[in-house]
Amino acid sequence: MTHPEPDVLASGHGVLGRRIAAVKRVLLTGMSGTGKSSVIHALSSRGFKAVDTDGGWCEPLPDGRQRWQEDAIDQLLDTEDVDVLFVAGCEENQVSFHPRFDLIILLSAPVEVLMKRLASRTTNSFGRAPGELERVLHDLQAVEPLLRKAATHEIRTTMPLGDVVAEVLHLADA
C-alpha cells in the first residue's frame, strides 16, 4: 500500500486525509453590561459571522428570565458556512452547549463599571426596571463564578472596545 506524502495528509487533502475543515465556534459570555453586544457588533462590522443571542434566539420563562431556543442554537452551531462563528449570550441552558464551543471567553468588568453601563446604555433597557438591578448583582455573585470555571479565557472589558475585540480575535486566532 502506498501512503500519501506527509504534507498531503497535513494539508487535509488526499484520500486518507480528506475532511471538511471544522468551523471554530467561540462563545462570548458574561453578565449584563460586560459588552457582549458591543463586541459582537464590532466583530460583525469587521465581516465575521457574529450572533447576539439576545436578538431573537431566546424564549421567555415564567420567572422573567429567558433561555436559549435550543433548536435554533443547535441549527446555528450545525451550520458550517464560515471559518469562525462568534456567539454571545448568557443563559442558564447555555451550559448544555458548552461542549460544542472551541473557546468560551468570559467578558467581565468591576461591579461599578457594570452599574454605570446598565444605567446609560441605549440599546437595551435591562437593568433599569425594579428588581432587575438586584438580579444583576445577585447573578454577579452566583453566576459569574460558574462562568469563570467554564471559560477557557477571560477578558476584562475596562479597556477600549477595539482592544477587547483585538484580544477576542487573537484568542480565536481569526
- At residue 128, the pLDDT reads 62
The vertex-109 CA angle with 70 and 69, nearest 5°, equals 10
- How many CA within 13 A on the CB side of residue 74? 5
- At residue 20, the pLDDT reads 45
Specify the pTM: 0.82
Q: Which domains does the chain have, with CATH numbers?
A: 21-172 (3.40.50.300)
* Nearest-angstrom CA–CA distance, 94 and 70: 9
- At residue 138, the pLDDT reads 84
Question: C-alpha cell of 94?
Answer: 447555555
Confidence of residue 120 (pLDDT cuts 50, 70, 90): confident
Overall average pLDDT of the 86-103 stretch: 95
40-62 per-residue burial string, b: 16 or more CB within 10 A, e: under 16: bbbbeeeebbbbbbbeebbeeee
- At residue 10, the pLDDT reads 37
Task: For 34-87, write each residue's pLDDT tens digit.
Answer: 999 999 999 999 999 999 998 789 998 888 788 999 999 999 999 989 999 999
- At residue 172, the pLDDT reads 94
Task: For 4-23, write each residue's pLDDT tens digit.
Answer: 433 333 333 334 443 345 77
